[in-house]
Chains A and B, each alone.
Chain A
């Protein structure tokens, strides 16, 4: 673990990989000191923003061990119903060497976890348990991807909460409300949420 200063009121904690970062973020969120304003997990880092003296925050970071958990420990599970008719489904099949039916089966059969957010309100970077669906981004991003599009990029799957430009390979679409300001919390997917996809 390496700790980098990020201005006067934040520390960027860098870990060795995605799994360790997710485990560490889980531990940090369990019981943060009152001075901690926000925690922003990413692929290899957790940004810790605080308000007050730095030393107690540094001590807390040093004293926190990555949490070892099993899926059973986490009750925050969301099921998302998907129509698998994405424009890139054939391309994903070609890239992975699977049939389109196997691509769909692989997406439905694995357990996904929200590793981190970013990009847009309510967007979650989902990591799965099956590496067969790892595909590169499209060589040319679309200028507009419709809200609810379900895509793949690298080791991640994700759902566009609203229409935006994007370079992910689109495999399907969902009516799930990813972002709803009338809901508390407004994001359906938050770091740590377990996601299961089902074919509509």
Chain B
């Protein structure tokens, strides 16, 4: 049987791919892997199509048994990755023989790991995607012990390399001002990029609430009509403390967005643990 059996999951483990774009007008966001760069890297390492589904493991704790000889890769957060107790390298291809167990510890850096298996995780697609969207409730349920995950045929060419460099461990996120920076004081725009912000424990696949000593002050006090929101938006509620929108963010929102984090740095943001200090840097 080309399958993996889930023995243990940790706090949250979901199936993710590159999401379901194109349905925002009927209230369904894109969703998909929170750290898309690590998801893509895991698929590359096992020679999968880039839209093959992987497992997104939040804060480690996953234990899987292979029911066939599988090729897997683990990317993302710094975890201890073992096959039947023997430590394995991250960001590299790993052979998992039938009956062997893959186990991820809690991370020492980062939040989310991606486990790709050659062929991809084969769960039914909903609106063209196998992603679990925690906001709309669409897609497969989060994994539970005892789940048997079939492995599909979403593999392409064999990879050119069996190791890719892990992402840099930087904590500077690049932002582009807008669409509603005009709703804030000039000083607020400076504060956004000069102040160190702290990742609060209020963080999930929807977004990350940030804290800073000086809140972002509004120049316009009126109420904004709800409008479409993009991935990486820094939405600022009346507290003046921004929320950084991740993969499962709402499709519309009613608070002004002062700036948007670049797509590549949204992947970095998805790895930030509570207590981490981050800095924003503006791009043109």
Contacts and interface: CB of A to CB of B under 8 A. Distances in A.
B193 interface: no
Contact of A12 (B24, B176, B228): B228
A122 B260 CA distance: 27
B127 to A, nearest CB: 7
Nearest to A41: B25
A124 to B, nearest CB: 8
A38 B179 contact: no
A9 interface: yes
17 contacts: A5-B260, A6-B233, A7-B232, A9-B230, A9-B263, A37-B22, A39-B25, A40-B24, A42-B225, A42-B226, A42-B228, A44-B225, A45-B225, A47-B230, A117-B27, A121-B136, A186-B26
A49 B261 CA distance: 15
A4 B138 CA distance: 31
B179 A12 contact: yes
B182 to A, nearest CB: 8
A187 interface: yes
Contacts of A186: 26, 127
Interface in A28-80: 37-47, 49
A97 to B, nearest CB: 26
A38 B177 CA distance: 21
A121 B127 CA distance: 12
B262 A116 contact: no
Contacts of A43: 225-227
A176 to B, nearest CB: 15
Contacts of B262: 7-8
Contacts of A44: 225, 227
A131 interface: no
Interface residues of A, number: 34
B203 interface: no
A39 B23 CA distance: 9
A150 interface: no
Interface in A1-39: 4-10, 12, 37-39
B106 interface: no
Given A9-B263, A47-B230, A187-B26, A37 B21 contact: yes
Secondary structure call for the B interface: loop
B251 interface: yes
Given A6-B178, A6-B179, A7-B260, A12 B27 contact: no
B200 interface: no
Contacts of B260: 5-8, 10
Contacts of B180: 4
B126 interface: yes
Contact of A6 (B23, B126, B230, B263): B230
Q: Which of A6, A190, A191: most chain B Cβ within 10 A?
A: A6
Contact of B251 (A6, A40, A122): A40
A146 interface: no
A185 to B, nearest CB: 7
Interface string B21-63: 1111111100000000000000000000000000000000000
Given A5-B179, A12-B179, A40 B228 contact: yes
A200 interface: no
Q: Which of B26, B178, B180, B230: most chain A Cβ within 10 A?
A: B26
Given A7-B260, A44-B227, 12 more contacts: A5-B176, A6-B178, A12-B228, A40-B25, A42-B228, A45-B228, A47-B230, A118-B252, A119-B252, A122-B26, A181-B127, A190-B26
Interface string B166-177: 000000000011
A38 B182 CA distance: 25
B76 interface: no
